[in-house]
Amino acid sequence: METLIQQQLDELELLQSMYSSPGEFHIEDQGSYEQTLAYCKQLVPQPAQSLSFKLVIVIDADDGDDEDSLQGATANCTAVYPLEIAVRLGNSYPDVLPNVYLSSKDLHRTNQDQLNSDLHCYMNAIPLTEPCLLTIVEWIRDNSATYFPVPISHSISTPDSKSDQSQSDNFCRLWLYMHHIYSKTKRRNILSSAHDLDLTGFCLPGKPGVVCVEGSERNTREFYSILRRWNWKSITCRRREEIESCDIGSCRKVCGFQELVLEVQGTHLNLGQFLEYLKQRKLEYMFKELFGVDGQH
């Protein structure tokens, strides 16, 4: 056990030297840490049951520069977020994995849960017996940015939904069709844009990608204008449905805005599930127009 405990202390000392700025590294229980130090010096018979510390790193969430990144209004747009890494090491580490949990006030709860889930999947593939805290922190630094919100643009206005509807009470539903929607950045910004503009509907990621938004005519137009500034292989509006001078809320057929998650059959999405989703909302008339297949069969 003494060898394992010494490896823990060596790794903690290295992390403390790497993250030495105020507020970056913090030992949770200083008494346990002192007891463990004393154990390695053979001053006490047992180490503390565990060592806990928190590390705060800064994540730069930018729009990236790959083919599927955002361009135009979003080019070179960067946001900086603090991310807290809470770690607890049992006496058997590194023969067993550490307990690691990530949190940030800037993360949506769903994204935070997904980030922790993906981290744990990565950790489960790490070979045991070797210290791995530095490797884990490196993975977090390399992969966390896509879970944070990326500002669409400081120049893009998102009008208040109530004042917007007072200016235009025309209802509009847009059906947008993309060659594909894979980018986590785009998917996250589609959700946030729809929410900011008080739009209901859904996003179906994959190949092809489909987005349906419904709300005031002005806000749906603004939403489409935002998306067209991004870098797409192709994006088209397949249908525009308008109802003049109506109560917008009563015209909506979708509650809220969400990203649809369908089962995968082989290499294709289960479009039968999507058809059933449309039928439940009396929108199945769009299935053939989107995919060229008669949904009746």
For position 156, what pLDDT does the model report? 38
For position 61, what pLDDT does the model report? 65
Q: Could you tell me if 23 and 111 lie in one domain?
A: yes
User: Which residues of the chain, if any, have pLDDT below 70?
Assistant: 61-79, 150-168, 264-269, 293-297
Q: Could you tell me if 218 and 272 lie in one domain?
A: yes
Rounded to 5°, angle at Cα 193 from 192 and 199: 105
In a domain, 154, yes or no: no
Q: Could you tell me if 69 and 188 lie in one domain?
A: no
For position 101, what pLDDT does the model report? 96
* Rounded Cα–Cα distance for residues 59 and 131 (Å): 24
- Residue 190: CATH number of its domain: 3.30.70.100
Q: How far is CA 47 from the centre of its chain?
A: 39
Give the ranges where 144-216 is alpha helix by DSSP (H).
161-167, 184-196
Q: How many domains does the chain have?
A: 2
For position 65, what pLDDT does the model report? 37
Residue 249 CB neighbour total at 10 angstroms: 10
For position 279, what pLDDT does the model report? 92
For position 64, what pLDDT does the model report? 40
Answer with the one of 113, 147, 181 that is the final residue of a domain: 147
pLDDT digits (tens, 9 = 90+) for 22-78: 899 999 999 999 999 999 888 999 999 999 999 999 987 654 434 444 444 334 445
- Residue 77: CATH number of its domain: 3.10.110.10
Q: Could you tell me if 123 and 174 lie in one domain?
A: no
For position 150, what pLDDT does the model report? 57
Q: Could you tell me if 34 and 113 lie in one domain?
A: yes
Q: Could you tell me if 134 and 18 lie in one domain?
A: yes
- Domain span including residue 117: 2-147
Report long-range pairs for 59-63 (Cβ below 8 Å, ≥24 apart). 59/83, 59/104, 59/141, 59/144, 59/145, 59/148, 60/145, 61/145, 61/146, 61/148, 61/149, 61/150, 62/145, 62/150, 63/150, 63/185
Closest CA to 213 of 262, 182, 257, 275: 257
Q: Which helix (H) or strand (E) holds 221?
A: helix 217-228
Q: Could you tell me if 199 and 137 lie in one domain?
A: no
* E strands in 92-193: 99-103, 171-178
In a domain, 160, yes or no: no
In a domain, 156, yes or no: no
Q: Could you tell me if 194 and 141 lie in one domain?
A: no
For position 264, what pLDDT does the model report? 66
Q: Could you tell me if 119 and 179 lie in one domain?
A: no
Half-sphere exposure of 250 (CA within 13 A, CB side): 7
For position 161, what pLDDT does the model report? 43
